[in-house]
Amino acid sequence: MSSSEVDHLVSENIKEHHGEIIYDANGFIKKIYRKDSQLNRKIVDSYIGMYKEDKEDSSNKEDNVQKRRENAQTMTNAFYDIVTDFYEYGMCIIYYNLKTKRWGESFHFARAYKGDTFEQSIKRHEQYLAVKLGLNEKQRALDVGCGVGGPLREIVRLSGAHVTGLNNNGYQIERCKAYAKKLGLENKSDYVKGDFTAIPRELYGKFDSAYAVEATVHSPKLEMVYGEVFRALKPGGLFATYEWVTTPNFDENNPEHKRIIHGIEEGNSIPSLSSYKQAIDAAKHVGFELIEHEDMAILSECHVPWYLTLKGGFSLKGFRMTRIGRCLRIAAPGSTDVACFLNKTADALVEGGETGIFTPMFFMLLRKPTTA
């Protein structure tokens, strides 16, 4: 089967599940309604089922972790098939207690300064990567796990670099292409549907820089994705990444800590979270030189906690009685389940931040040796 035939098949499968692409920024309810009922229910059940054995025991037994690692790509594809619309259009319902704007095009957290709006923090967090990588209009960069392309477009506009977005979820790739066309960025970006633990060989040695924004956590093991990024870079190329990891405050013998971390893993399609040290060791193991690292969740007097955007008085019981809540109950089966588990995920993330056992922004700047 040719690549064009594969693309056509992927496109048809996306339409079968999600319906026609809706570009309306206020189109959340339309998007939920247009999903195929049977497919949506099946995909929701398949994802939730990956964590079913851990429901009563959040100890993350190694055999369950191994099962999720073996099925990481399928699991993560299912996850983003069911949550992308909530993140992009409807996340205000779940995370922001109907008070602030939707999450939008950038599915990540950010170091926040006092006086910042959420949007300012998000954009600065993305621009920081372009500055650290020294990107300019003569360079080509790789966005590893690009989502719907929010960070990619911000980095292109700031630096002028050409950026290739890599993503294994066909629905999100279609969203990337739609945004690029709408915003006139087609000549400064392109998109590859592919597994970042098995990057197409034609991309090896092609990029001056690469970056990842809270994406590589979906890899079965960090060495797998880091090794592929290493191969995709030119000698001397830089890789900047924000990682979701446990901090030294995490006590694996503390049942409460394990419950919180498992909640974060379940709600974000993570086979098993790594630690600070494991992330650094993984990068060095595949050949990277560590230039710098920092947990950007650690606060100074000028900062506010990254997880404050998730705190609020959301009540699923009350939500069911709102217009949107009632719509979800009669929309594609599984939509209410998604709203429910995303809300629980928000609680786990807040607990992880408040206890200091988890960070979504462990920053590393790495270099591929010039002799590699």
Average pLDDT for 351-370: 98
Q: Is 301 exposed, middle or buried (0-12, 13-18, 19+ CB in 10 A)?
A: exposed
Average pLDDT for 150-173: 94
In tens, the pLDDT along 313-356 reads 444 444 443 444 434 443 455 556 666 667 788 889 999 999 99
Q: How confident is the model at residue 213 (pLDDT cuts 50, 70, 90)?
A: very high
pLDDT at position 170: 86
Q: How confident is the model at residue 172 (pLDDT cuts 50, 70, 90)?
A: confident
For residue 38, the tally of other CB atoms under 10 A from its CB is 11
Does residue 34 have a pLDDT over 80?
Answer: no
In tens, the pLDDT along 305-316 reads 999 877 754 444
% of the chain at pLDDT higher than 90: 53
Does residue 292 have a pLDDT over 50?
Answer: yes
Average pLDDT for 354-369: 98
Q: How confident is the model at residue 302 (pLDDT cuts 50, 70, 90)?
A: very high
pLDDT at position 31: 59
In tens, the pLDDT along 50-101 reads 666 655 565 556 777 777 777 666 777 677 676 666 666 554 444 433 334 4
pLDDT at position 346: 85
One-letter-per-residue 3-state SS of the chain: CCHHHHHHHHHHHHHHHHCCCCCCCCCHHHHHHCCCHHHHHHHHHHHHHCCHHHCCCCCCCHHHHHHHHHCHHHHHHHHHHHHHHHHHHHHHHHCCCCCCCCCCCCCCCCCEECCCCHHHHHHHHHHHHHHHHCCCCCCEEEEECCCCCHHHHHHHHHHCCEEEEEECCHHHHHHHHHHHHHHCCHHHEEEEECCCCCCCHHHCCCEEEEEEECCHHHCCCHHHHHHHHHHHEEEEEEEEEEEEEECCCCCCCCHHHHHHHHHHHHCCCCCCCEEHHHHHHHHHHCCCEEEEEEECCCCCCCEECHHHHHCCCCCHHHHHCCHHHHHHHHCCCCHHHHHHHHHHHHHHHHHHHHHCCEEEEEEEEEECCCCC
Choose the weakest-confidence range: 31-45, 260-274, 358-372: 31-45
Q: How confident is the model at residue 8 (pLDDT cuts 50, 70, 90)?
A: very low
In tens, the pLDDT along 236-288 reads 999 999 999 999 999 999 999 999 999 999 888 888 999 999 999 999 999 99
Does residue 47 have a pLDDT over 80?
Answer: no
pLDDT at position 29: 52
Between 129 and 168, name the one with better pLDDT: 129
Q: How confident is the model at residue 119 (pLDDT cuts 50, 70, 90)?
A: confident
By DSSP bridging, strand 358-367 and strand 233-246 are antiparallel
